[in-house]
A and B are shown apart, each in its own frame.
Chain A
């Protein structure tokens, strides 16, 4: 079996501000085509680590290599076009229409995105192309994050990084959109890194789960292995929550069957 070359490599990445070490020497490779979830409690350093990829955060020490190149050496505009970024507060530009929001990345590099391409991107995230002319304040939260995903995909990125992308959505929207993103990951042949504090989401979507604690990588397992008890104490404490919930739900269901 041949492993594909890593698309993304963290090499001893450290980030400090003041006396606090948010990320303390993280090293790992992300293979092309993989869907990786980065899980941890609040303040574990997972978002900070993620932002070193598109240089929103510059590491104090260590390097981040993207396709073999140090990201700090790449012009930010070009780098960020190749790295789609989706985050919890979405950040649609309120003074731009949906179409303008989606087309903003290519526009920055001097390319005008044609209408058909915008319609195609809207369809990818299951929005009717008539949404193109609407303003962000006319959309629901779920619709807005769909536009956020379309915007991240507009530049034809190789890598998609997502920071709690579904955190602010209601459970139904959250489920539908996360399935959609996983599907896009497959059909577009993307490499995806998703930060989440929700282990259930990580286990269900990703094919590899990294667990962070106090700025360190403490586990690197497949969902199956994690559920089987691998990954150490921190990972298991996080995994126990959905597992117990599932067991309790199953028990409730069993009870119902007996009654019926």
Chain B
């Protein structure tokens, strides 16, 4: 528990970003929902249409909704130009706003429909115009119900905003996602505590306003509003201190190696006086497009990933040829500069427990063909959609009884507990050696190579200072060194390190 308390003070900027994002989304949702509700009050068709659309949005998982805005904004660049951000605040704001619409809209429409018809007749009878009727009668009478809707929306939004991390918007999801990937439970707990605390605080404050409106107790209404305004201003001010030229943004995908390397890169750049920022926990596809659009500046990617997923190539020309072709392709197609290879490979490989492999008599992928239908194969969430899997499956004619998805860190536990018989492991993963797993041979060469590449966005591709700072890392990291660093972060005993500590150790041992 003491570890959790130690983390809390460092979450200030995440909290500020979280508050600003949530408040903006709720504010925007109100701006859309309230006029829409007024319109819906005048037209049955609009009411039904608006409510069904808002309900439809709710059926989309928040994570998917957030991710969907990335390709949407990317395609909108054709209209609005290259300046349109595709990651970070804008897509997060749009997705959360859509999410917050329903409770506000539904309560506002219901409140309007349930107004006493006698009161509305009186409003006409004394000669009110439509506008006067709305502002003097309908709005004040519906206000407590609308406020209840805003309360619900706030709690939902503050919760869902933690998912904004996955599309590169800093939020209280950062410690949660980072903690989940590196099995740092104190970090997860700290993030959850702060976001739950924020949701509770918002809920109670808005409740005070709601009661104030209902009982016509102005001091409660205005007091509550003042505290809300104060909180948002404090968050804005907290964020505002970090203005100026954009720092160099270093991305990390959702596994330990990426967190460690991002920290190592960041440390080198900071040593040279650069300001850096981290975007952790991004999806693999997001990282590649975000780099090309300079939404992020530095990323580590792998030759096989780019080859199969983005260049859509199915052949395997060999390690060197693949590297050269990718470097040229990235420069030509995306204006992305492949600075070089870090030295190690993080290839996909199929791994099994030693005893299980022995019992089944499996040593290579070819041996799996016979026993596959009796086995369960585990992969990371994207694995079974990736072309590498399809290539291997088709090359050997593999069929498994069951396929299951696990977060990368949990795949090894699943193997240990027997919930999976074979997993898609990574060759740089320290747990292969630590758990004494058997890596199955690939006699047909169906899996491509996965050299780790250091890549720069078009924005900083020509920055020789950055290049000079990072050059010592090229070719410096052996697969053994990377495995050791990864294992230091992934292990759960006393030797566990944070990604930052592991990065420092790696830098010392690799000599950069």
Partner of B125, one of A78, A87, A94, A109: A87
Assess whether A56 is in contact with B141, with CB atoms less than 8 Å apart.
no
- CB atoms of A80 and B119 under 8 A apart: no
By a CB distance below 8 angstroms, the chain A residues around B10 are none
Given A95-B140, A108-B132: A89 and B117 interface contact (C-beta under 8 Å): yes
Tell whether, in the assembled complex, residue A104 and residue B126 are in contact, meaning their CB atoms are under 8 Å apart. yes
In the complex, which of the residues B117, B119, B127, B132 has the most CB atoms of chain A within 10 Å of its own CB atom?
B127
In the complex, are the beta carbons of A56 and B119 less than 8 A apart?
Answer: no
- What is the bound-complex CA distance between A87 and B125, given in angstroms? 9
Query: A144-186: contact bitstring with B at CB < 8 Å (1 yes, 0 no)?
Result: 0000000100000000000000000000000000000000000
Contact of B126 among A89, A90, A94, A151 (CB under 8 A): A151
Q: Confirm or deny: A197 has a beta carbon within 8 angstroms of a beta carbon on chain B.
A: no
Write out the residue numbers on chain A whose beta carbons fall within 8 Å of the beta carbon of B126. Answer: 80, 85, 104-105, 108, 151
CB contacts (< 8 Å) of A81 on chain B: these are 127
Alpha-carbon gap, A130 to B447, bound state (A): 89
Q: A80-B125, A81-B127, A108-B127 are in contact. Are A91 and B141 (CB under 8 A)?
A: no
Task: Indicate whether A78 sits within 8 Å of B127 (C-beta atoms), given known contacts A56-B121, A89-B117, A93-B122.
Answer: yes
- B118 CB–A CB distance under 8 Å: yes
Within 8 A of A (CB), among B88-123: 116-123
Q: Check: A54 CB closer than 8 A to any chain B CB.
A: yes
CA distance A93 to B118 in the complex (A): 9
* B residues in contact with A8, CB < 8 Å: none
The distance in angstroms between the C-alpha atoms of A95 and B216, with both chains bound, is 8
A170 to chain B, nearest CB (A): 19
Closest to A136 in B: B119
Contacts of B129 in A (CB 8 A): 76-77
Establish whether residues A76 and B125, one from each chain, have CB atoms under 8 Å apart when the complex forms: no
Residue B124 interfacial (CB < 8 Å): yes
Question: Secondary structure at chain B's binding surface: helix, strand, loop or mixed?
Answer: helix
Interface readout for A69-105 with B: 1 if CB under 8 Å, 0 if not? 0000000111111000101011111110000000011
Instruction: For the complex formed, measure the closest distance between the CB of B147 and the CB atoms of chain A, giving whole angstroms.
Output: 14
B298 to chain A, nearest CB (A): 58
Residues in B with CB closer than 8 Å to A93 are: 119, 122-123, 136-137
The answer, yes or no, to whether B128 is at the interface (CB within 8 Å) is yes
Q: How far is the CB of A104 from chain B (nearest CB, A)?
A: 5
User: In the complex, what's the smallest C-beta–C-beta distance from B387 to chain A, in angstroms?
Assistant: 64
Contact in complex: B127, A95 (CB < 8 Å): no
Interchain CA distance A77-B216 in the complex, whole Å = 27
Looking at the assembled complex, report how far the CB atom of B115 sits from the nearest CB atom of chain A, in whole angstroms. Answer: 10
CA distance A54 to B120 in the complex (A): 15
**A59-76 contacts to B (CB < 8 Å):** 76
Tell me the bound Cα distance from A78 to B129 in angstroms.
11
A92 to chain B, nearest CB (A): 7
A23 to B119, CA, bound (A): 25
> Are B119 and A91 in touch, CB under 8 angstroms?
yes
CA distance A109 to B136 in the complex (A): 14
Q: With A93-B137, A95-B140, A95-B141 as given contacts, are A87 and B127 in contact (CB-CB < 8 Å)?
A: no
Closest to A79 in B: B127
Produce 1/0 per residue, B394-434, CB < 8 A to A: 00000000000000000000000000000000000000000
- What are 19 residue pairs bridging A and B, where the CB atoms are less than 8 Å apart in the complex? A56-B125, A77-B128, A80-B125, A81-B127, A85-B125, A89-B116, A89-B118, A90-B118, A91-B122, A92-B119, A92-B122, A93-B119, A93-B123, A93-B137, A95-B140, A105-B127, A108-B126, A108-B127, A109-B127
Which residues of B are at the interface with A, using a C-beta cutoff of 8 A?
116-129, 132, 136-137, 140-141, 216
- Where the two chains meet, the residues of A that have a C-beta atom closer than 8 Å to any C-beta of B are 54, 56, 76-81, 85, 87, 89-95, 104-105, 108-109, 151
What 10 A-B pairs are tightest by C-beta distance, nearest first? A91-B122, A89-B118, A80-B127, A85-B125, A91-B118, A77-B127, A105-B126, A91-B119, A95-B140, A104-B126
